[in-house]
Structure 1
Amino acid sequence: MHAPLATAAGRTASPTTARLINDRLALQLLQSEGPLTASQLRKLTGLSRPTVADLVDRLQEAGLIAVVGESGAQRRGPNARLYGIVADRAHLVGLDLRTHSLTVAVADLLGRLRAERTVPIGPFGAPGDSDRPARDAPDPTAAPRTAALAAVDATLAEAGAAGPHTLAIGAPGLIDPATGRLGGSTPAWHDALIGALRDRGAGTVLLENEVNLAALAEQRDGAARDRDTFVLFWLGHGTGAAVVLDGTLRRGASGGAGEIGFLPVPGTGGLPSATGCDGGFHSLAGSAAIVRLAAEHGLAPAPDDTPERADTPPAEALVRDAVTAGGPAAFLDALAARIALGVSGVCAVLDPGCVVLGGEIGRAGGDPLAERVAARLARLSPLRTDVRAGTVGGRAVLRGAVLAARDAAQDDLFGATP
């Protein structure tokens, strides 16, 4: 009978569990620090020379690490060998689904981007195609599904990947935790595409709400890197939130945690209902409401006289212009007051200590809008809350999808931590 072994984490475990823990620790170090020698691994892990030698051999045999060079110009031999993760051991796909477009990113096992493309999807047919025959076809989702699958395959080919190990998809709407399916009024081709990707059987397919993925990106790479508890407020065409408590994303019993569009707030002239969020926070802070608010302050969307502006939603353009071109301060103040109503309601229940403003409006408003929201919030709530502008930008959902795919692939290949 084997005696329990001490691991680098200071725990005792069976030999098998100890190997899993030590292998995972070494792989995490190689991911975060880059290539390391065996001596450096011993120093960073606290493991013995024989234990490190065994795990290096084991990880090499598994095809997870390889010698990638030598350390120092004057050093040669086994002790100078640099070991690194074999990044091409698995390819990952992140997808950001929008109503009329799809963005695909292919990354390696370390999460490094290898290829990316955005494809417009017409409302009824193939990219840019809204002809009536496609709309009246027996399966109106066939053309957009085919176009989306072709975009995924073309991006994989560009990255030199035979196929994905893991795909992570960010989509608007609720994700039913019982069925793993999209709910709400999402485009039909989204469900059709997700079903087709699952039917292929080529890799694990993960489905997540887009705002939750944006929160993951802000947690790992953005404004919430120093926080294990925070709320991401998504301010765009619609409104939503992602809740991260003690480092863990909280989805709720039905996947609806963060549906702040339905939050009853003063100033809407009504109340939301089970069938619609009109009268809720959405009626104050959704893009259509922001355009109306701007009009009350004498602002109107500028003509779409450049390709950049043509691709920018009116509300986002109005907020960005107010920030960068010195627009009426009263407009930004009024917008901040509206956003602070929703933030104060969430803070009263969760007390997250940190709120990140994301989405198109949060990105356009940046620090000036975040500072105004913080000042207004301090008048509404006794709870100390840091309000920050998101820093990942317009690629937050896509980046979050790649990170989610990387986590799942590494759990599979590296072994989940016991």
Structure 2
Amino acid sequence: MPASPSTARAINDRLALRLLQQQGSLTAGQLKQLTGLSRPTVADLVERLTDAGLIAVVGEAGEQRRGPNAKLYGIVAGRAHLAALDVRTEGVSVIVSDLVGSVLAEASAPIGGDAGTGPAVEQAVALVERVVKEAGADRLHTVGIGAPGLIDPASGELRDSTGLPEWHRSLVAALQERLPEARVIVENETNLAALAEQRDGVAADRDTFVLLWLGHGTGAAVVLDGALRRGASGGTGEIGFLPVPGTTGLPSAVDCEGGFHSLAGSAAIVELARSFGLPVEDPSAPEPLAAGVVGRAVALVAGNTEAADRDAQAASADRFLDTLADHLAVGAASVVAILDPGCVVLGGEVGQAGGEALAARVEDRVRRMSPLATVVRPSGLGGAAVLRGALLTARDAAQDELFAPRDR
């Protein structure tokens, strides 16, 4: 049964908006070529979208010819403003963008564990409000939040998790109260990192892959056939609880100590480095301490340092990276044996710091442990992937609403 005229118009409008979002400003002639629609149909949709305030003339095509140049149309970026938050145990980062994703303002702030729930929430909300003001936004349309812990798949809310600050859960409610017109979306930080790597990072050529998050803690995100998998309770990828050899015990339902976290968490990596005599810097550094340790070890092995005892340190760093790869391969090979993803991304700050040097070592061990061909890649975005994924989520949600087919 053919679509009604109103449905056909709505479909055409959405197609044109998606093309403008993906490719930037276009002329009516370019829209005609890309959509395959007739010239009168394109003229009608341009008029409708202009009247709706979704697109506007942003310039002229640069063709040198007699007569007027063709008008260039683009999405009205200021039609909606978005915010993205990366909520960590030790602080919050915020960015505010326009509808097409251009960042207008950003800031980060540490939040101490002894601040108390109320003051911590107020500090985080005040940061969001300050960044919104700096961006020149009157209000927010959608807010995307990345946080550690489980997200209830039914309610979309952050579940109470042992070991995580109480202010995390309170922050979501506070933002919704202070920003009543905004839609607030919460997602697990590792899932958002995987979304960012899939759209803008090292997994852009993969429909199926697993991202192994290596930051302060550990986690995994599973993308199968292009779709993020969350599981029945939202817990897909809680790899920190995976029982593994080489630890002093077993994890429990409320504590991942004794699981993979005990081999691959930031504290475990730092202790491993100390056992090889590698220097460990000030733990007050803003990035996970392990990321700095791993980055320096890679530099030592590559010969990119000028330490007096560089050769001795390089040998220790080489052994450290080998042992760390042994540890990471235990978790990666377990995931590979179950899911056969074909690709494992070493994400987070630690994965990015390890680069190709660490990824190649992990890949070699996984291939020796599993008959399933698997490539291992270092993150292209590191810890910034969470904010990027939160922004992509907010932008997609806002555009889905604003670009939704409607009867005009």
TM-score between both structures, scaled by the size of structure 1: 0.89
Partner of 2:259: 280
Q: Supply the distance in 2 between the matched residues of 1:77 and 1:157 (Cα, whole angstroms).
A: 43
Partner of 1:172: 148
| 342-351 vs 319-328, which moves further | 319-328
Q: Which moved more, 1:190-199 or 1:293-302?
A: 293-302
Q: Contact (CA 8 Å) 1:38, 1:79: kept in 2 or not?
A: no
Pick one of 80, 83, 100 that aligns with 2:73.
83
1:157 offset after TM fit, Å? 0.9
Kept in 2, the 8 Å contact 1:92–1:406? The answer is yes
2 CA distance for matches of 1:310 and 1:275?
A: 28
Given the alignment of the two structures, is residue 310 of structure 1 paired with residue 285 of structure 2, yes or no?
A: yes
Report the counterpart of residue 197 of structure 1 in structure 2.
175
The C-alpha deviation readout for 1:124-173, integer Å capped at 9, x for no partner, is 43xxxxxxxxxxxxxx4222222211111111111110010000001111
Q: Deviations over 1:57-101 (max 9, x none)?
A: 111111110011111253577871111111111000000111231
Aligned counterparts, 1:358-373, within 5 A:
358-373=347-362
- AA paired with 1:192? S
Does 2:142 match 1:162?
A: no
**What's the counterpart of residue 213 of structure 2?**
234
Structure-2 residue corresponding to 1:343:
332
Measure, in 1, the Cα distance between the counterparts of 2:282 and 2:22. 46
Structure 1 position 395, deviation (Å): 1.1
Kindly provide the amino acid, as one letter, of the partner of residue 238 in structure 2. Answer: E
How far apart, in 1, do the equivalents of 2:392 and 2:66 lie?
36
Corresponding residue for residue 381 of structure 1: 370
Alignment map for 1:73-222 (pairs within 5 Å): 73-75=63-65, 80-125=70-115, 140-183=116-159, 184-185=161-162, 186-200=164-178, 201-222=180-201
- What's the CA shift for 1:301? 0.6
What is aligned with 2:298? 323
- Structure 1 pair 50–78 and aligned structure 2 pair: CA distance change class (3 A): farther
The separation in 1 between residues aligned to 2:196 and 2:22, in whole angstroms, is 16
Q: CA separation of 1:384/1:416 partners in 2, compared to 1, >3 Å: closer, same or farther?
A: farther
Tell me how far apart the structure 2 counterparts of residues 80 and 299 of structure 1 sit (CA, whole Å): 63
1:394 to 361, 373, 383: 383
Structure 1 residue 246, shift from structure 2 partner? 1.1
Is 1:66–1:83's contact at 8 Å kept on the other side of the alignment?
A: yes
Cα shift at 1:206: 0.2
Residues 1:261 and 2:262 are matched in the alignment: no
Residue 393 of structure 1 aligns to a residue whose secondary structure is coil
Q: Relative to 1, partners in 2 of residues 1:246 and 1:235: Cα closer, same or farther, differing over 3 Å?
A: same
User: CA offset at residue 362 of structure 1?
Assistant: 0.6
Equivalent in the alignment of 2:5: 15
Equivalent residues of 1:70, 1:76 under 8 A apart: no
Q: Distance in 2 between matches of 1:387 and 1:21?
A: 40
Segments of structure 2 that go 5 or more residues without pairing to the other structure are: 302-313
The yes-or-no answer on 1:298 pairing with 2:242 is no
- 1:297 positional shift: 1.8
Greater CA drift, 312-321 or 60-69? 312-321
CA distance in 1 between counterparts of 2:405 and 2:243 reads 41
- How many angstroms does 1:393 deviate by? 2.6
The Cα of 1:252 is off from its aligned counterpart by 0.6
- Report the more deviating stretch, 73-82 or 254-263: 73-82
Q: Distance in 1 between matches of 2:394 and 2:189?
A: 14
With the length of structure 2 as denominator, give the TM-score of the two structures. 0.91
| Counterpart-to-counterpart distance in 2, 1:123 and 1:211 | 22
Q: Quick one: distance in 2 between partners of 1:18 and 1:336?
A: 54
Distance in 1 between residues matched to 2:124 and 2:94, nearest whole Å? 9
The one-letter code matched in structure 2 to 1:166 is T
How large is the RMSD of aligned CA atoms in angstroms?
1.8
Measured against aligned partners, the alpha-carbon deviations of 1:206-244 in whole angstroms (never above 9, x if no partner) come to 000111111111111111111111111001221100111
Rounded to whole Å, the distance in 1 between the matches of 2:141 and 2:103 is 15
Identity %: 63
**Length, aligned pairs only:** 389
User: Structure 1 residues 116 and 284 mapped into 2: Cα distance closer, same or farther (>3 Å)?
Assistant: same
Distance 1:416 1:239 in 2: 41
Q: Distance in 2 between matches of 1:411 and 1:322?
A: 45
What displacement does 1:15 show?
2.6
* SS at 1:289 equivalent: helix
Quote the Cα distance in structure 1 between the aligned partners of 2:221 and 2:6: 37
The residue matched to 1:325 in structure 2 has which SS?
helix
The alpha carbon displacement at 1:379 in A equals 0.2
The answer for unaligned runs of 5 or more in structure 1 is 5-12, 126-139
Distance in 2 (CA, whole Å) between partners of 1:388 and 1:66 is: 41
Displacement of 1:338: 0.9
Shift in alpha-carbon separation, 1:168–1:76, aligned structure 2, 3 A: farther
Give runs of ≥4 in structure 1 deviating > 6 Å: 76-79
Q: 1:77 to 1:256 in 2, by over 3 A?
A: farther
